[in-house]
Structure 1
């Protein structure tokens, strides 16, 4: 059976042939199961995509990685050819992400995750509001024929796929927190002191949780379980040709660009869920009335509006609501604007990342503090991951509630916003809640 490995990461000036057709909606879990790496899984409110293989791979390093990736993406889409215009749902997309900082050390588990990497899949299956679509891409002297043959083969294969039985979580043998509770307290106290001295307003400190698993994790099963447990979140999987898988279920969209409309959201301020409705309602009221959480949220809303204001007009802030997830509830405010000119989604990604919800304020001072205090490399955690299309439109998420998994190991990440009146133990407890989405799928 053919694997959707694609052609070659190095394209030069070759034409890229793309073909697409509508298909009956398959079980995306089964399709992803038979794809070879690199693989992508993506579930959003209106679109679900699984993709495999690589017809082209784009990468960039350094502080100008957003601009370099944008230029490479525009060049790639300029070379895409189709015999006739494809329906919206069948159009090809680049999928990938960025590191949290441009100076990522790429230490394990991030060895195979550069500053920026995006893949044009060889085979892509998309469930959209206008149908379900199979899309293939190919390069080379017979690119059109290759893409057409690939389309025919995968259409037949997908139609004949069985429904794979889901496995059970692998179980956990040992766990290690970095930093430990004692070091966490010291770090939070240091940040609070800097805030009270006037050097900072907010810093998001993160913790990693490494787990040795009882047996090998089936990544597709974990992604499927995340979708069932957290249907209100965006589920994602990014898996390179070699190396560990990066997956998660994030509640936070960094930005969506369609034409000149830009949408983002401020998500900051957290509390747990109650075991009964009365307890849950009481916790929600505590969150709404919390001076600390509302202050943290206001910082994020005002900062995002300011960042958008350099590129957009008519910025509208929606009502502040409480976003309830299975294990935690957050304060949430939607923000929408109209771009002042035609702009690429990566222009907005570069402008908005990192938001104060994962970095802090002022941004530069917060980032220096994170580098000073955190004892691990964030890699792609809390960084922008998403997709780009031929128009420069796209959607990017903030890769929180996430983990890197490799066989029988998994490393999870979570963070908490530290402000002047933060209590180290309360922030530590909040982080443990944020580990639950991934942790529950391992045990």
Structure 2
């Protein structure tokens, strides 16, 4: 056994012990089907992770929530012991996310009840599929940490060996829809934002909408994630179910930040158009997007801001070429950004520095956030906020929680936004938002 961080454990601190074993491929779905809260799912093109049950739970709020989670994470990993033969991908991580604002609106009608300013957990059970291998990782805490980790390992190893994945549930169907705001109110909101842009107070602000749908049947979020893997295989597919009720899930094309060692990877993703009915129309729309003065301006604001946010940490920042990112229903302008850090940093320090990017907030940041607060008539909650994971070395990956929804009982609330800059047209921005609803709405109808 070896500590995950350092060689010493403070006397009197609670022990955290991890065990692991290889298992058969396809075990991640069984963890999600167990419906043990909290639950987290994470899938990219190279990795799939499912985690459930809290060996430790970390919550925080306010402006210090990023630093508070980092401090708690470092304390947990300092006293966590793990078998040396366990590969890095299968070692325990903290999974969770943050709210968009420092403090969100309170209200009985908010779908975000139970989602604090930050929530992360060290899972009791974690299954990781990567590089052709699947690993089961279990964690115990307290005076019986070793016994609990061993018991969970044996129980779940047998369970995964014996149990077959449940059949995929069909979409639940949608009975009714409620939009916030209406299109008429949206036009007013965009007009007011454009007045601030024209006055010089704003360069850009991202205004969002909410679409609440009543579901005809029961919703299986794991089944939604399975379907999203087929339609959006290159997106970050995620699910977080906190203790209590409600589930946040989505398939986001936007990475906020990845850190490995001193290498940082992120991207600017802003400027949008639809998909064509034919390959030729697709190409025409992509070319039009690359030539759009409005969209290129919006995109460049985001790329420049991310570079400026990284420069205080970096010895070098490299900006890639602007390209078009094609998804099933929409195309985006995308620029990759890579940085080498001047010294070691924790991924959560970078998350705090980068959130919110102008792709989901605006510029200047304080005025954009003030405009969002004064304009939007709903609680953003975790929408457009960082969601992801952090490990014992301070490495991690966080995506931006867009193309997402929060579900509770027979109701799901979908969110989508559009960047408002000079020359934005309210009706065109409305149409863009409707396109961005499609990834989630298609899996519910």
TM-score, structure 1 as length reference:
0.96
**Which of 214, 219, 226 is matched with 1:217 structurally?**
219
CA gap of 1:276–1:90, structure 2 versus 1, over 3 A, is same
Establish whether residue 250 from structure 1 lines up as the match of residue 261 from structure 2: no
8 Å contact from structure 2 (residues 27, 160) kept in 1: no
**Which of 362, 367, 372 is matched with 1:370 structurally?**
372
Distance in 2 (CA, whole Å) between partners of 1:96 and 1:83 is 24
Establish whether residue 65 from structure 1 lines up as the match of residue 60 from structure 2: no
Distance in 2 (CA, whole Å) between partners of 1:106 and 1:310 is 35
**Pairing of 1:265-414 with structure 2 (within 5 A):** 265-414=267-416
Distance in 2 (CA, whole Å) between partners of 1:84 and 1:266 is 38
For structure 1, the 5+ residue unaligned runs are 1-11
**Which of 128, 141, 166 is matched with 2:143 structurally?**
141
CA apart distance, 1:280: 1.0
| Corresponding residue of 2:129 | 127
8 Å contact from structure 1 (residues 89, 132) kept in 2: no
| Corresponding residue of 1:16 | 16
CA gap of 1:105–1:403, structure 2 versus 1, over 3 A, is same
**Pairing of 1:6-45 with structure 2 (within 5 A):** 13-45=13-45
Where 1:167 maps in the other structure, the secondary structure is: coil
TM-score, structure 2 as length reference:
0.95
8 Å contact from structure 2 (residues 20, 83) kept in 1: no
Where 1:320 maps in the other structure, the secondary structure is: strand
Distance in 2 (CA, whole Å) between partners of 1:278 and 1:194 is 39
Please, which moves more after superposition, 226-235 or 424-433?
A: 226-235
CA apart distance, 1:73: 0.5
Where 2:358 maps in the other structure, the secondary structure is: coil
**Which of 250, 258, 261 is matched with 1:259 structurally?**
261
CA apart distance, 1:44: 1.4
8 Å contact from structure 2 (residues 82, 91) kept in 1: no
CA apart distance, 1:34: 2.2
CA gap of 1:229–1:169, structure 2 versus 1, over 3 A, is same
Q: Deviations over 1:352-386 (max 9, x none)?
A: 00000000000001000001111111000000011
CA apart distance, 1:35: 4.2
8 Å contact from structure 2 (residues 265, 338) kept in 1: yes
How large is the RMSD of aligned CA atoms in angstroms? 1.2
| Corresponding residue of 2:8 | none
CA apart distance, 1:22: 1.5
CA apart distance, 1:30: 3.3
| Corresponding residue of 2:116 | 114
Distance in 2 (CA, whole Å) between partners of 1:142 and 1:350 is 36
8 Å contact from structure 1 (residues 106, 379) kept in 2: no
| Corresponding residue of 1:52 | 52
In the comparison of the two structures, how many residue pairs are matched? 432
Distance in 1 (CA, whole Å) between partners of 2:294 and 2:104 is 32
CA apart distance, 1:132: 1.3
| Corresponding residue of 2:7 | none
CA apart distance, 1:191: 0.6
Distance in 1 (CA, whole Å) between partners of 2:32 and 2:113 is 24
Distance in 2 (CA, whole Å) between partners of 1:89 and 1:35 is 24
**Which of 209, 212, 236 is matched with 1:207 structurally?**
209
| Corresponding residue of 1:89 | 89
Distance in 2 (CA, whole Å) between partners of 1:69 and 1:193 is 38
Where 1:55 maps in the other structure, the secondary structure is: strand
CA apart distance, 1:394: 0.3
Where 1:265 maps in the other structure, the secondary structure is: strand
8 Å contact from structure 1 (residues 89, 130) kept in 2: no
Where 1:432 maps in the other structure, the secondary structure is: helix
Where 2:374 maps in the other structure, the secondary structure is: helix
8 Å contact from structure 1 (residues 262, 339) kept in 2: yes
CA apart distance, 1:82: 2.4
CA apart distance, 1:106: 4.6
Please, which moves more after superposition, 340-349 or 74-83?
A: 74-83
8 Å contact from structure 2 (residues 44, 233) kept in 1: no
CA gap of 1:106–1:128, structure 2 versus 1, over 3 A, is farther
Q: Deviations over 1:324-359 (max 9, x none)?
A: 000000000000001111100000000000000000
| Corresponding residue of 2:9 | none
Distance in 2 (CA, whole Å) between partners of 1:162 and 1:276 is 40
| Corresponding residue of 1:8 | none
8 Å contact from structure 1 (residues 105, 377) kept in 2: yes
